[in-house]
Amino acid sequence: MSAVNVPTPSPEPFTQAREAMIESQLKPCGIVSPAVVSAFYAVPREEFVLPERRLLAYIDAPQPLVDGRELYAPLTLGRLLEKAQPEKTGRALVVGAGNGYTAAVLSHLVAETIALEENPALASRARELLSGYDNVEIVEGPLADGWPTGAPYDLLVMDGAIARELPVALVRQLKDGGHAVAVIVGEDGVGRAAIGRRAGESLRLLPFAEAPAAVLPSFERVHVFQF
């Protein structure tokens, strides 16, 4: 019996869906920086979602990966990057890089991106998907430790939510004056996109918009027992 050749889906519907995402989700909510918009257009999000969800790649919602991990919803990532305004000559650290989508978008916005992941399966997939991205390096290690080898960074992007303060180890890997962006999940359970700037040894993340996201491993809220 001869093998059945399954035709490869045309990229045209995905291109149209990407354009619709930008025009109907991002721009109406203030994501208007030409550089950020162009970066979103350049990256085929359908390649980074689970195979069975390719047709849902551009909906305004987080995308499940494995082990409870997610891709940010397009609008959430858009808000973070619009607020951060990455410098074209800068270096960025992505913490909790998943399978590499955020790093792929950042590759069009900064000179160099270090993408840190501690889940071996996700890191392997990220290397596969980003094999053609010359200015992105995938590294593996505990997320809370960051990647001091590549420090200092101009920008820190938490590629998932946090429910506690950023560890000092991460803050110290930013340049003084460098920015960090993340989704913070408050005690009310609501995720909010936030940005902070390192000033000396301190960095305070200031929320500016609601944003749904799954909390990254090692960044869950620490519950203190009280009598």
Delimit the domains of the chain by residue range.
Answer: 62-210
What would the pLDDT profile of 72-96 be if each residue is shown by its tens digit?
Answer: 999 999 999 999 999 999 999 999 9
**Within the chain, how many helices (H) and strands (E) appear?**
6, 9
Q: What is the pTM of this model?
A: 0.91
In the chain, % of residues over pLDDT 70 = 93
Q: What is the pLDDT of residue 11?
A: 61
Q: 62-210 adopts what CATH topology? A: Rossmann fold (3.40.50)
Tokens 């999000």 correspond to what residue? 45
